[in-house]
Amino acid sequence: NSQMRLAGAAARTAAAAVAACGLLAPLAGAFYLPGIAPHDYKAGETVELQVNSLTPTLNADNKLESVLSLGYYDERFHFCRPEGGPKAVHESLGSILFGDRIYSSAFDLHMLRNNKCQALCQQTIPGKDAGFINDKIMKGYNYNWLIDGLPAATIKVDDRTQQQFYSVGFGLGSSLAGQLVPHFHNHYDITVQYHTVDSVHHRVVGVIVAPTSRNTALPKAGAVTCDAAEPMALHEDKDNTVVFTYSVKWEASEKSWATRWDDYLHAVDPRIHWFSLINSMVIVVFLTAMLGLILMRTLRKDIARYNSDDAEDLQEDFGWKLVHGDVFRAPLHFELLAVILGSGYQLFWMVLTTLVVALLGFLSPSSRGSLVTAMLVLFIMFGFSAGFNSAHMYHSFGGVSLRRIIIMAVLFVPGVCWVVLMAVNLCLIAAHSSAAAPLGTLLGVMALWFLISIPLTITGAYFGFRRKTVDAPVRVNQIPRQIPDQPWYLRPVPSALMGGILTFGAIFIELYFIMNSIWFHKVYYVFGFLFMVFLILVVTTAEVTVLLTYFHLCAEDYKWHWRSVYTAGA
């Protein structure tokens, strides 16, 4: 009977499991990562064109003359507005902090419906605003549009490989070198590439815009024509009448929705990344060889000599052996040092986790601001690590006030970041830039800080303070030893420069691409190279710190704690 009851229970459990799988199967088939689920359009269905802030890039003289983004609906541009006014699009926290301001537009696009010439509106631009627009054209400002999450791009050709690629954004106007009055782009030839899923549904897989400058006149009767040959030049001494027009062309493509970002993610020259990686590895091998030479020869010889029974050898001790009674002495302002070390742990785990998540493909470029959002959320979540390591290091240095280290860990690094954010935001507001974060976003960041980060930091500090301290292997002398005069290359500035040059040399090429993507609003995607360079940076920093710390101890300078921090961070 018991066996029959067990068999019946097993059968009922199996049936329940099969039923649960049947219920979850449709959900599993429809699972997509947030922000990257495909949208299927039917013929004639409205396809929304969204507009983002205008951003600066290289001008005609190949110079970057501005870093401030400007709102698309800034009154000085006089762009056409949709009926009822533009509506803001919901954005992620990272997208807002990075300067995205996405709104609806007056463009009317329908799937598979071509339009050779369509008027948006007619605007009168005063001479003062014409000067403002001309200045932005000369500084190389770009339009930034979005259709189905894809940025509008222009087709460019790689000078080295002659391969075509999509360059995100297109010019506000055109200005040749030496041209006095630039031409304002007021006509847009929009080509939307689509992929047919079945006989009914279609997906957007590419957006190309070719802007032109046309001095079009709006007729009193009849349809507008977009064949004006004269360019549109804005004169700063009078009012200018501008007619905004556009055309739409739908182009079938064999490109699938899953690979639609491939044309945007164009590597200028992949060999540069390999050169960066090899350069970093050469530096690591060089430092490892130096460190191994010291540890295997000099240090081993010194230790063997120090442990020998020869009294004469003991009397001739010099260098790092003479400071063994002071090397574990707590440094000045050790509370601040403990907080910086704890925040370093927090930053390290945040960067490492973000890179792993990016390598796994969870940070899609179609989800705007996902990278910044992930970094901010992970930095807040790893507040536990900051509190734990700060309190443990503080207690190991001899600190006794848990409340003091909690207050410093909670306020120092996050407070400095908050002050810098507010100062930059005030400067952006004063410059009338759209990149200034709105009040609601700032309150949201502050809520994350106070409601999540601070409790996690306090919890981590509590457990870190209760953890067993790191005990010194030797007794610390009561009277500090006098430090002799140091060689010039071991003084603070030269030693920091030596350490900084080696670590910077390991990452500067990849750092160039990161900064280039930030300032020129490009998509950075080579996280594999970045992850390897990050690991090399960690190893290089550790080896440089150990090497220079050993040199300082050999020079009888036992105040190595702060030196190791700013040498590695230089």
The yes-or-no verdict on residue 512 having pLDDT over 50 is yes
Beta bridge pairs of residue 11: none
Taking residues 395-406, report their average pLDDT: 91
Percentage, residues of the chain above pLDDT 90: 43
Q: How far apart are CA 435 and CA 53, in angstroms?
A: 8
pLDDT, tens digit (0-9, with 9 covering 90-100), for 518-532: 887 777 778 888 898
CB 435 within 8 A of CB 442: no
Q: Sheet harboring 49-51: ordered strands across?
A: 103-104, 49-51, 145-147, 150-151
CA angle 527, 96, 82 (to 5 degrees): 120
CB within 8 A of 257, min separation 6: which ones?
38, 195, 203, 205
Q: Greater confidence, 282 or 418? A: 418
Q: Greater confidence, 422 or 19? A: 422
Q: Which of 223, 224, 220, 221 is nearest to 243 (CA)?
A: 224
Taking residues 51-77, report their average pLDDT: 89
Least confident of 65-69, 286-290, 535-539: 286-290
For residue 345, name the pLDDT band (cuts at 50, 70, 90). Answer: very high
Taking residues 30-44, report their average pLDDT: 68
The yes-or-no verdict on residue 3 having pLDDT over 50 is no
Q: Greater confidence, 43 or 165? A: 43
* SS3 of the chain: helix, strand, coil, percent, to 5: 50, 15, 40
CB 55 within 8 A of CB 104: no
Q: Which of 440, 437, 442, 390 is nearest to 413 (CA)?
A: 390
The yes-or-no verdict on residue 90 having pLDDT over 60 is yes
pLDDT of residue 274: 78
Taking residues 80-103, report their average pLDDT: 90
Taking residues 198-207, report their average pLDDT: 91
pLDDT of residue 282: 83
pLDDT of residue 361: 82
Outline where DSSP puts E strands in 463-546.
none
pLDDT, tens digit (0-9, with 9 covering 90-100), for 233-285: 999 989 999 999 999 999 999 988 888 888 888 766 667 777 777 877 888 88
Q: For residue 455, give Cα distances in angstroms to 152, 225, 451, 484.
A: 43, 64, 7, 46
Q: Greater confidence, 196 or 502? A: 196
Q: Which two tokens stand for residue 209?
A: 């815009």
The yes-or-no verdict on residue 18 having pLDDT over 50 is no
Q: How far apart are CA 171 and CA 185, in angstroms?
A: 8
For residue 75, name the pLDDT band (cuts at 50, 70, 90). Answer: very high
Q: Which of 3, 513, 556, 7 is nearest to 321 (CA)?
A: 556
The yes-or-no verdict on residue 22 having pLDDT over 60 is no
For residue 170, name the pLDDT band (cuts at 50, 70, 90). Answer: very high
pLDDT, tens digit (0-9, with 9 covering 90-100), for 429-445: 999 999 899 999 999 99
For residue 178, name the pLDDT band (cuts at 50, 70, 90). Answer: low
The yes-or-no verdict on residue 463 having pLDDT over 80 is yes
DSSP string, 394-430: HHHTT---HHHHHHHHHHHHHHHHHHHHHHHHHHHHH
Q: How far apart are CA 129 and CA 223, in angstroms?
A: 29
The yes-or-no verdict on residue 208 having pLDDT over 60 is yes
Q: Which two tokens stand for residue 201?
A: 């549904």
Q: Which two tokens stand for residue 195?
A: 């992929």
Least confident of 15-24, 38-47, 59-68, 505-514: 15-24
Taking residues 158-166, report their average pLDDT: 76
The yes-or-no verdict on residue 5 having pLDDT over 60 is no
Q: Greater confidence, 350 or 17? A: 350
Q: Which of 345, 275, 339 is nearest to 538 (CA)?
A: 345
pLDDT of residue 13: 40
pLDDT of residue 318: 59
Beta bridge pairs of residue 165: 156
pLDDT, tens digit (0-9, with 9 covering 90-100), for 276-329: 778 778 888 887 887 778 777 776 776 776 666 555 555 555 566 777 788 888
pLDDT, tens digit (0-9, with 9 covering 90-100), for 390-400: 999 999 988 89
Query: How high is the mean pLDDT of the chain?
Result: 84
